[in-house]
Chain A
Amino acid sequence: MAGLLYLHSTLLTSASALRRRAGAPASSSRRRCRVEAKIREIFMPALSSTMTEGKIISWTAAEGDRLAKGDPVVVVESDKADMDVETFHDGFLAAVLVPAGESAPVGSAIALLAESEEEIPLAQSQFASFSPSSSPPPPQETAAQEASPPPPAPAAVSAPAPPSPATQGGVRVVASPYAKKLAKDLGVDLFSVTGSGPGGRIVAKDAEAAAAAPKKAAPVAAARPDVPLGSTVLFTTMQGAVSKNMVESLAVPTFRVGYTITTDALDALYKKIKSKGVTMTALLAKATAMALVQHPVVNSSCRDGKSFTYNSSISIAVAVAVDGGLITPVLQDADKVDIYSLSRKWKELVDKARAKQLQPHEYNSGTFTLSNLGMFGVDRFDAILPPGTGAIMALGALQPTVVGTKDGRIGIKNQMQVNVTADHRVIYGADLAAFLQTLSKIIEDPKDLTF
């Protein structure tokens, strides 16, 4: 899913055309056409109908690089997802106008594309006259409909540009349009502002006052968790559900098999495609799903103790700690969906999970579960099998480990310990061992993950 760049050329030369205009009005338009054919502007594309500005995650091409039509140039983070953006024309990336990490409004120029190598200096000199506090971004090139449609997934993501006085955490914020605009510009959190307008509405001066007020000392990140010590707290609905499931799991005879997997190749791949928004979680889910394709029994489930089901699809549930509990958003058909879509899907699911907006089918349809505590430095642990599934895999940290190699030397490799808990009624030791071997092969040679 790559967006297409708007390439546009008319106004690049407007400043110079203007100068010329004074002397030779008639020729300006013609000459402009000649210039415009050679140096084009690359515009911040509208990746979704609601996007008003985009943040540049990274430039995949560097200044001076030769680009062919369709080559990815830049990764843009829109309000919905990160997208690879491709160029529409052949040429050389002459100048990057908006560096990585900065944002630009939709339709504004973010880079210049020269048609030939000789024109790079010309483009760069134009950049010099083009950028400094210059006029508002020039009118945009051909129409929105050329942009690729927004990614299909993010349905429930809230509206972007003007933060809406949505209900969040049960608190409603009513703020006037200008107050919202100011708050955004001044970096004021409207939830912390008391409104002085009619009906307690936040108006512009409230936002300004809040921005002017000395900032309260931010709570120290590592502060002690704020819990009422010594008191008894009733389970929340989520805690209740977890408790029930955990007790139910005792009825299933489980066993565990561990494996150590070398991840150097996976790390290298991750570094390469990280800029495209791919996450390690998505890579591991993808690898697991591909291994499960070859071992359908590990993806099966036994519910009644008399029969078991080979699940028709591979849906990887990944445990996520959320405020007040644990939830397992599900990556459906993880074996079939490509890694980029899978990463976007994952990002969306996590956002929804944090906002407590997951729909039931988005967290209870997993056929195989992943649980990862590696980010805390945990090197190995043991997971409880969620009822209704056949197996769960606990992932430890990826860490450099001293290993002996086959040729008798000692080397350092990145390794990860995994530990699978499975229902022994249907999955036997040899099944798990074979599955883990397949998984380790996939991770150690991960080129198929990106197909």
Chain B
Amino acid sequence: MQSTAAVSVSASAIATGGARSGAARRPGGVRVCGLRGEALACSSLRISQAPARRAATKAAAAANGAVAGSGGFDYDLVIIGAGVGGHGAALHAVEEGLKTAIIEGDVVGGTCVNRGCVPSKALLAVSGRMRELQDEHHMKSLGLQVSSPGYDRQAVANHANNLASKIRSNLTNSMKALGVDILTGVGTIVGKQKVRYGKVGFPDKEITARNIIIATGSVPFVPKGIEIDGKTVFTSDHALKLESVPDWIAIVGSGYIGLEFSDVYTALGSEVTFVEALDQLMPGFDPEIAKLAQRVLINPRKIDYHMGVFASKITPAKDGKPVLIELIDAKTKEHKETLEVDAALIATGRAPFTKGLGLENINVVTQRGFVPVDERMRVMDADGSVVPNLYCIGDANGKLMLAHTASAQGISVVEQISGRDHILNHLSIPAACFTHPEISMVGLTEPQAREKAEKEGFEINVVKTSFKANTKALAENEGDGLAKLIYRPDTGEILGVHILGLHAADLIHEASNAIALGTRVQDIKFAVHAHPTLSEVLDELFKAAKLQPREGRDSKPKQPPQPLLKVLGFITSLLSSQ
């Protein structure tokens, strides 16, 4: 494989930002898209080198301006929704020489760029620094003296907003530069390979496309009984504008979104009460990681929590009364208590945004709003058969609601319509939560791995390393953390990696790439890591993994480093002696 850099920054189920460049087929060199290195947003930074390919790309870009796509269609590919998924697909489509259009009814960039990972990263960057500066003990142990750190709420909010605008314009420019037609309006599928778009309710323009990708994403899910006013009871959409920092905020839902916001709010001085319906905080995480996260991210902070309860009714603050949250037992549905808080953030997950797509015109029935797809993202109709030339990627299909998943799925679809079969391995897609310290994961959790192992009759092993033993982490005075590897001792296959610790979100890619490429523990353990770096946490992890001895296994190291070094040393000494 050649050098394709996929720089991804992700977030929460808000949609973890970032794009994996799934099809790493170009030899690296020149930046094709308009994104700049410092704009680490929800987009991929591509590097391409082959002149031939570059020419083809340019040709494609030029051709895209032509009157029609091939075979009598207006376009080879029309993408409905210009979020991260649509953007990733559009860029790749142009590279493949497809005449491409993207329809967007709101702003380019979708949830991730405007209301998700990007602005939340700006807030988290602030909260991380605030937390550090406020931690006298931490500062003192580094020998630093800081007097009374403070912040300007509006300036923090501006930082988040400016970042979103910047990334949005980068995204827009990158598509324009390549010649992707950006069509403004709401897209509706009116028939086979036919899309209408325009103002809501008045889709006046009709285009035909050889292939259509639905990439309409999702919106915050608000359970019934909860009244949103956008000021005191709100979702992540409003929270990211940081119009206020309440003294006491209840966060309903303790998944990624809730956890990240608890990090932001507590750093800015709020007290937080979690309301979680399940009996465990952070239910989606590996249980061991969740426990440690509770110890590091919740217990020492100004946070308390109610578990096993639903917020059955939330009333915004008005007439001098606080926000009222009625809690009922998740099992018995009995009223448990009423919370009185200053604000409530609803972080109960996200619901697909698929209304008005005209799916009924092609006999497709959504499932809880999600568009049913097969493993190749081909849309399935009500009879369970594939709808030709129609695909759905990203949150709208609900397979794995992360921004970079959408992008990877989009690239996978473009590969298929360019004549190369491609199935995305979702187990190789990393996820991250950008708390301080961060949490990241790829593959299976330990309970999932155990279940699979039992079902399929193999053994698993778990090894762990601590950030406490890592030089770089200790230099930063950030020794809290754990990395955990779940693997098969018989084959060395990596099943899952979970990290909680400093820069965990950046560290996970060594593991996710290994899973994507099928690299095994016995091979990756010989890869060299620079010292001293946080990456050595994973280095130690792979080295700690023991395999079952098996007859016939190639016991010789593939690249015997010692002899090679000796030979090199010998040659060097010969050269220098002359």
* A residues whose Cβ falls under 8 Å from a Cβ of B: 10-11, 14, 17-18, 21-22, 25-26, 28-30, 32-33, 49-50, 52, 105-107, 135-145, 159, 161-162, 164-167, 174, 176-181, 197-199, 201, 203-204
Give chain A residues whose Cβ lies under 8 Å from the Cβ of B302. Answer: 176-178, 181, 204
Docked complex: B426-459 residues within 8 A CB-CB of A = 446-447
User: Looking across the interface, which residue of chain B has its beta carbon closest to that of A13?
Assistant: B469
Binds A, one of B6-14, B61-69, B102-110, B288-296: B288-296
How far is B446's CA from A167's CA once the two chains are assembled, in angstroms? 40
How far is B467's CA from A10's CA once the two chains are assembled, in angstroms? 12
Chain A proximity of B317: nearest CB distance (Å): 10
User: Looking across the interface, which residue of chain A has its beta carbon closest to that of B479?
Assistant: A135
Give chain A residues whose Cβ lies under 8 Å from the Cβ of B466. Answer: 10-11, 14, 138-139
Give chain B residues whose Cβ lies under 8 Å from the Cβ of A144. Answer: 280, 287, 291
Q: Which of A50, A105, A177 contacts B304 (CB 8 A)?
A: A177
How far is B447's CA from A144's CA once the two chains are assembled, in angstroms? 10
Give chain A residues whose Cβ lies under 8 Å from the Cβ of B482. Answer: 139
Q: Is B420 an interface residue (CB 8 A)?
A: no
Q: Is B395 an interface residue (CB 8 A)?
A: no
Q: Nearest 5 A-B pairs (CB), nearest first? A: A162-B304, A178-B302, A177-B304, A139-B482, A143-B287
A25 and B531 in contact (CB under 8 A), knowing A176-B271, A177-B272? yes
29 A-B Cβ contacts within 8 A? Answer: A11-B464, A14-B466, A14-B468, A21-B471, A25-B531, A28-B540, A29-B540, A29-B543, A30-B543, A32-B544, A33-B546, A49-B307, A50-B307, A105-B295, A137-B295, A139-B464, A140-B291, A143-B288, A143-B446, A143-B447, A159-B307, A162-B305, A164-B337, A166-B337, A174-B340, A198-B247, A198-B342, A199-B321, A204-B302
Cross-chain contact A29 with B471 (CB below 8 angstroms): no
Chain A proximity of B426: nearest CB distance (Å): 23
Produce 1/0 per residue, B518-549, CB < 8 A to A. 00000000000001000010001001101000
Chain A proximity of B475: nearest CB distance (Å): 12
Q: Is B44 an interface residue (CB 8 A)?
A: no
User: Looking across the interface, which residue of chain A has its beta carbon closest to that of B300?
Assistant: A136
Chain A proximity of B492: nearest CB distance (Å): 16
Chain B facing A: main interface SS: mixed
Q: Is B322 an interface residue (CB 8 A)?
A: yes
Give chain B residues whose Cβ lies under 8 Å from the Cβ of A105. Answer: 295
Give chain B residues whose Cβ lies under 8 Å from the Cβ of A21. Answer: 469, 471
User: Looking across the interface, which residue of chain B has its beta carbon closest to that of A144?
Assistant: B287
Give chain A residues whose Cβ lies under 8 Å from the Cβ of B540. Answer: 28-29
Docked complex: B44-93 residues within 8 A CB-CB of A = none
Docked complex: B298-312 residues within 8 A CB-CB of A = 299, 302-307
A145 and B447 in contact (CB under 8 A), knowing A10-B464, A138-B466, A139-B288? yes
Chain B proximity of A298: nearest CB distance (Å): 38
Query: Please, how many residues of chain B have a CB less than 8 angstroms from a CB on the other chain?
Result: 47
How far is B291's CA from A52's CA once the two chains are assembled, in angstroms? 10
Q: Is B248 an interface residue (CB 8 A)?
A: yes
Q: Is B279 an interface residue (CB 8 A)?
A: yes
How far is B292's CA from A52's CA once the two chains are assembled, in angstroms? 12
Chain B proximity of A85: nearest CB distance (Å): 18
Q: Is B273 an interface residue (CB 8 A)?
A: yes
Q: Which of B279, B292, B446 contacts A49 (CB 8 A)?
A: B279
Besides A14-B469, A165-B339, 6 more A-B contacts (Cβ < 8 Å) are A10-B465, A10-B466, A136-B480, A162-B305, A167-B337, A178-B302
Give chain A residues whose Cβ lies under 8 Å from the Cβ of B471. Answer: 21-22
Cross-chain contact B480 with A142 (CB below 8 angstroms): no
Count: A-B pairs, CB below 8 Å: 112
Q: Is B462 an interface residue (CB 8 A)?
A: yes
Cross-chain contact B479 with A176 (CB below 8 angstroms): no
How far is B308's CA from A49's CA once the two chains are assembled, in angstroms? 10
Cross-chain contact B271 with A177 (CB below 8 angstroms): yes
Cross-chain contact B288 with A140 (CB below 8 angstroms): yes
Cross-chain contact A29 with B465 (CB below 8 angstroms): yes
Give chain A residues whose Cβ lies under 8 Å from the Cβ of B272. Answer: 177
How far is B469's CA from A357's CA once the two chains are assembled, in angstroms? 51
How far is B290's CA from A106's CA once the two chains are assembled, in angstroms? 13
Give chain A residues whose Cβ lies under 8 Å from the Cβ of B287. Answer: 143-145
Give chain A residues whose Cβ lies under 8 Å from the Cβ of B446. Answer: 142-143
Produce 1/0 per residue, B470-488, CB < 8 A to A. 0100100001101000000
Give chain A residues whose Cβ lies under 8 Å from the Cβ of B304. Answer: 161-162, 177, 180-181
Produce 1/0 per residue, B239-270, CB < 8 A to A. 00000000110000000000000000000000
Q: Which of B288, B306, B463, B479 contacts A159 (CB 8 A)?
A: B306
Produce 1/0 per residue, B542-578, CB < 8 A to A. 0110100000000000000000000000000000000
Chain A proximity of B531: nearest CB distance (Å): 7
User: Looking across the interface, which residue of chain A has its beta carbon closest to that of B471?
Assistant: A21
Give chain B residues whose Cβ lies under 8 Å from the Cβ of A137. Answer: 295
Cross-chain contact A135 with B468 (CB below 8 angstroms): yes
Cross-chain contact A199 with B469 (CB below 8 angstroms): no
How far is B465's CA from A18's CA once the two chains are assembled, in angstroms? 12
How far is B468's CA from A165's CA once the two chains are assembled, in angstroms? 38
Cross-chain contact B340 with A17 (CB below 8 angstroms): no
User: Looking across the interface, which residue of chain B has its beta carbon closest to that of A177?
Assistant: B304
A17 and B469 in contact (CB under 8 A), knowing A49-B279, A136-B295, A140-B288? yes
Chain B proximity of A180: nearest CB distance (Å): 6
How far is B338's CA from A166's CA once the two chains are assembled, in angstroms? 9
Chain B proximity of A162: nearest CB distance (Å): 4
Give chain B residues whose Cβ lies under 8 Å from the Cβ of A14. Answer: 466, 468-469
Give chain B residues whose Cβ lies under 8 Å from the Cβ of A49. Answer: 279-280, 307
Cross-chain contact B337 with A29 (CB below 8 angstroms): no
Chain B proximity of A40: nearest CB distance (Å): 14
User: Looking across the interface, which residue of chain B has its beta carbon closest to that of A20?
Assistant: B469
Most B Cβ at <10 Å: residue of A52, A181, A197: A181
Chain B proximity of A7: nearest CB distance (Å): 14
Cross-chain contact B247 with A176 (CB below 8 angstroms): yes
Give chain A residues whose Cβ lies under 8 Å from the Cβ of B303. Answer: 177
Chain A proximity of B481: nearest CB distance (Å): 8
How far is B294's CA from A106's CA once the two chains are assembled, in angstroms? 11
Q: Which of A142, A166, A176 contacts B462 (CB 8 A)?
A: A142
How far is B447's CA from A142's CA once the two chains are assembled, in angstroms? 10
Give chain B residues whose Cβ lies under 8 Å from the Cβ of A174. Answer: 340
User: Looking across the interface, which residue of chain B has its beta carbon closest to that of A48?
Assistant: B279
How far is B543's CA from A25's CA once the two chains are assembled, in angstroms? 11
How far is B306's CA from A144's CA once the two chains are assembled, in angstroms? 19
Q: Which of B273, B288, B536 contacts A142 (CB 8 A)?
A: B288
Give chain A residues whose Cβ lies under 8 Å from the Cβ of B288. Answer: 139-143
Cross-chain contact B322 with A199 (CB below 8 angstroms): yes
Most A Cβ at <10 Å: residue of B279, B304, B482: B304
Cross-chain contact A176 with B307 (CB below 8 angstroms): no
How far is B530's CA from A48's CA once the two chains are assembled, in angstroms? 43
Give chain A residues whose Cβ lies under 8 Å from the Cβ of B465. Answer: 10, 29
A177 and B306 in contact (CB under 8 A), knowing A18-B468, A33-B544, A140-B291? no
How far is B303's CA from A430's CA once the two chains are assembled, in angstroms? 65
Give chain B residues whose Cβ lies under 8 Å from the Cβ of A138. Answer: 466, 468
Give chain A residues whose Cβ lies under 8 Å from the Cβ of B273. Answer: 177
How far is B291's CA from A27's CA once the two chains are assembled, in angstroms? 30
Cross-chain contact A107 with B295 (CB below 8 angstroms): yes
How far is B346's CA from A335's CA once the two chains are assembled, in angstroms? 51
How far is B468's CA from A136's CA once the two chains are assembled, in angstroms? 10
Give chain A residues whose Cβ lies under 8 Å from the Cβ of B279. Answer: 49-50
Chain A proximity of B470: nearest CB distance (Å): 9
How far is B469's CA from A161's CA once the two chains are assembled, in angstroms? 31
Chain B proximity of A51: nearest CB distance (Å): 12
Give chain A residues whose Cβ lies under 8 Å from the Cβ of B306. Answer: 159, 164
How far is B531's CA from A25's CA once the two chains are assembled, in angstroms? 10
How far is B271's CA from A275's CA once the two chains are assembled, in angstroms? 40
Cross-chain contact A177 with B248 (CB below 8 angstroms): yes
Chain A proximity of B270: nearest CB distance (Å): 10
How far is B462's CA from A32's CA once the two chains are assembled, in angstroms? 15
Give chain A residues whose Cβ lies under 8 Å from the Cβ of B469. Answer: 14, 17-18, 21, 28
How far is B531's CA from A10's CA once the two chains are assembled, in angstroms? 22
